[in-house]
Amino acid sequence: MSRIKPTLIFSHKYNIHFFGIEKLHPFDGCKYGRAWKELKNIFGENLDNWTKCPEREVSSNELSTVHTKIYLSELITNSQYLSKALEIPPLALVPYKLIDRTVLSPMRLATRGTIMAAEAALEDGISVNLSGGYHHASRKKGEGFCIYSDIGVAVYELRQSGKIKSDDKVLMIDLDAHQGNGIARIFDEDKSVFIFDMYNKDIYPKDLWARKRINTDIPLNYGTKDSVYIDNLKRELPLFLKNQRDAKIAFYNAGTDIYEKDPLGKLSISKQGVLERDKFVLNSLIDFGIPCAMVLGGGYTKESYELVVDSICYILKTWADK
């Protein structure tokens, strides 16, 4: 990569407003907009120059490159199914059209955002979609608050549009606190995709079948602290990248649910540790000349957006034109 030019992908419509969803799930549906607002305070009008906004949701055709027709039609007719996949049982009583408009539509927009982030990364080295990272969704199943596999769809879109070839290497670096079982299942038989996954082995999804597919598998214990976490990352990631140095693109799931206060991730990584992780991943990819599309993944505290802001500040201050 001769020149790095970071791109952010964001829409104000990413926020998920669903009358009190915050009370039913630890998920902060406004994390994306909060991060954006804070970045705007820091960078002012400049932020718009580095940002692209998805103008439409991902299409059914784009989704069907990964998801089965039966699954996609289930999503638009079955509140009970949706309430299970979203892990909010009371949603079973809400008409699916309302769930579609308030929860799924922002997710389809963000899925389109991950496609745009992948395209921007290929062109200019680094991009961040301020949402996405739905790594539990597989071809015919939604689970763990993940309905559409944004990264899966982005890989197929890059291939279909000829931006990468089907045998070009694609890397998945998944550092969300949860194991990325959906990604492992979607690319189970795909020899061009290489997966690096470091996660808390003691929490959901404990998907042993999917685990066999991970190329570099780093299961962590409940409560793992900064030193062990960063040591593992600094030892294993360079080895992984060394073996895949000719990769065309890496998708980085930078889930902030590794944070010590996160109620779901159950790891003990400090605020500084999260930033150190992101800096190391991004700089490693740049050093190896591999374009990186970063997505936000999980992060379930009221402070999660601040962690996202810290990492994006680092990206913009390091690589964006002033």
Give me the catalytic one of 67, 135, 136, 178: 136
Residue 59 DSSP one-character state:
P
* Residues in contact with Zn ion, shown as a per-residue x/- string from 206 to 245 under the rule CB under 5 A: ----------------------------------------
Q: Which of 197, 182, 174 is nearest to 254 (CA)?
A: 174
Residue 197 region, left (φ>0) first, then alpha (ψ -120 to 50), else beta? beta
| Segment (H or E) for 238 | helix 226-243
Number of other CB atoms surrounding residue 209 within 10 Å: 10
**Could you tell me the end-to-end alpha-carbon distance of the chain, in angstroms, rounded to an integer?**
20
Report the residue number, 156 or 259, with the smaller CB distance to Zn ion.
Answer: 259
* Residue 142 touching Zn ion (CB under 5 A): no
The one-letter code for the residue type at 108 is R
Taking CB positions, which residue lies at the least distance from Zn ion? 298
Cα distance between residue 215 and residue 184, in whole Å = 10
The one among 54, 113, 132, 255 contacting Zn ion by CB under 5 A: 255
* Residue 133 touching Zn ion (CB under 5 A): no
The per-residue DSSP string of 63-88 comes to HTTTS-HHHHHHHTT-HHHHHHHTT-
* Residue 298 touching Zn ion (CB under 5 A): yes
Piece of 99-107, 167-175, 241-249, 254-262 that binds Zn ion (CB under 5 A): 254-262
Report the residue number, 33 or 297, with the smaller CB distance to Zn ion.
Answer: 297
Piece of 64-72, 156-164, 219-227, 297-305 that binds Zn ion (CB under 5 A): 297-305
The size of the interface with Zn ion (CB under 5 A), counted in residues, is 6
The first and second tokens of residue 19, run together, are 């009358």
The one among 119, 150, 257, 306 contacting Zn ion by CB under 5 A: 257
Q: Cα angle at 112 between 6 and 310, to 5 degrees?
A: 40
List 138's β-bridge partners, or say none.
Answer: 141
* Residues in contact with Zn ion, shown as a per-residue x/- string from 171 to 210 under the rule CB under 5 A: -----xxx--------------------------------
Report the residue number, 64 or 270, with the smaller CB distance to Zn ion.
Answer: 270
Enumerate residues 6+ apart whose C-beta is below 8 A from 91: 24, 79, 82, 83, 99
17 is catalytic: no
Closest approach of Cβ 144 to Zn ion, in Å?
8
Report the residue number, 194 or 259, with the smaller CB distance to Zn ion.
Answer: 259
Which residues are known to be catalytic?
136
> Where do contacts with Zn ion occur on this chain (CB under 5 A)?
176-178, 255, 257, 298
